Amino acid sequence: MLGGPDDRAVSVGPSSVDPVHREGFAMSSRQPVSSGPFEVEPFDLGRLLAAGAAGDEVVRRSERWLVGVLDDADVELGAADREVAALVAGEGWSVAQVVGGWVRRAAGAPPGGVRELVAPGVTRVR
């Protein structure tokens, strides 16, 4: 799997709240999109998003995917949040995948976990 041996793969499939699928674009639930942590630039989301699309459509798909990840994590989004998601997606699907991986990993963290400062800017959840 891309990104290193500790990657967590998350299958992506249709859901009632996933804007990627409401817009007529469906990613196969058999093809996992890694949530990281990443040691190298991830390419799996890009391969899925680019299937049958090019240019601006890939950016729109990336934005819808990222908003879907945020929705799945129960993150309430305002208009400015959606604008920032569009900016992140505009930086490239690998950027969107890394940010989406952060959200997925944070959403999967145990509630009430203890965060320990390991180094400046680096925390560990126990």
Q: Would you list the domain boundaries of the chain?
A: 9-125
Secondary element (H or E) of residue 90:
helix 79-90
Q: Which residues pair with 3 in a beta bridge?
A: none
Distance CA 11, CA 9 (A): 7
DSSP code of residue 118: E
Tell me the percentage of the chain whose pLDDT exceeds 70: 62
Place 29 in a pLDDT band, splitting at 50, 70 and 90: very low
Token pair listed for 39: 């040691």
56: phi then psi, degrees, rounded to nearest 5 = -60, -30
| CA distances to 16, 45, 66, 90, 98 from 22, in Å | 8, 18, 14, 20, 23
Per-residue pLDDT reduced to its tens digit, 51-77: 888 888 989 999 999 999 999 899 999
